[in-house]
Amino acid sequence: MDIIEITTATHDVEFDLAYATERNFTSLPVYANAICYLHREASEILATAIRLASALDLRLKLFDALRPSEAQWVLWNHTPDPDFLADPRRGSPHSRGVAIDLTLIDQKGQELDMGTGFDAFTPLSHHGNIEVSPAAQHNRLTLLGLMTAAGWDFYRNEWWHYQLFNSRDYPLISDGDLSASMMPDRG
């Protein structure tokens, strides 16, 4: 598997890996270790998005990237909502290492207003929702433009989610496939 770790040093991004904390929709840490992995091909187009954002004096903050299949089951068992979560029997682009959840931040590290928080499972989170403020619409469209120009596809229900166009071509990844485990030891 061609999976690499994404760090501030390798990709000049900030991290707030929500599933390694209690600040996610399950209210419990899903990951035991806050490690960010992506497939090498996804990491390369992430680097392009970083360069495009930098040209606008913006940076990227990552909330999630590779999500081991075991984590997808934890999320699905908590909230089996196919509008916002992939059924783990089919597999998620996250569980293939080719999806990323992120936002834009300014040079001071402040998140730009996107109208909702990350993982707000409501119609207000949909791309093109004009019920959020004009500033939030502008910021979402800026993120959308940067990411699609870099080569990412978007998911219409989540302003924060981007994936490779051919995401189903990649195999599912379990925690045991990784060089360092993300999941808690359930033994």
Give catalytic residues, as residue numbers.
158
> Under 8 Å CB-to-CB from 10, ≥6 apart: which residues?
4, 43
Burial class from Cβ neighbours inside 10 Å (0-12, 13-18, 19+) for residue 111 reads: middle
Sign, CA torsion 112/116/117/119 = negative
Selection from 64, 153, 149, 139 nearest residue 105 by Cα: 139
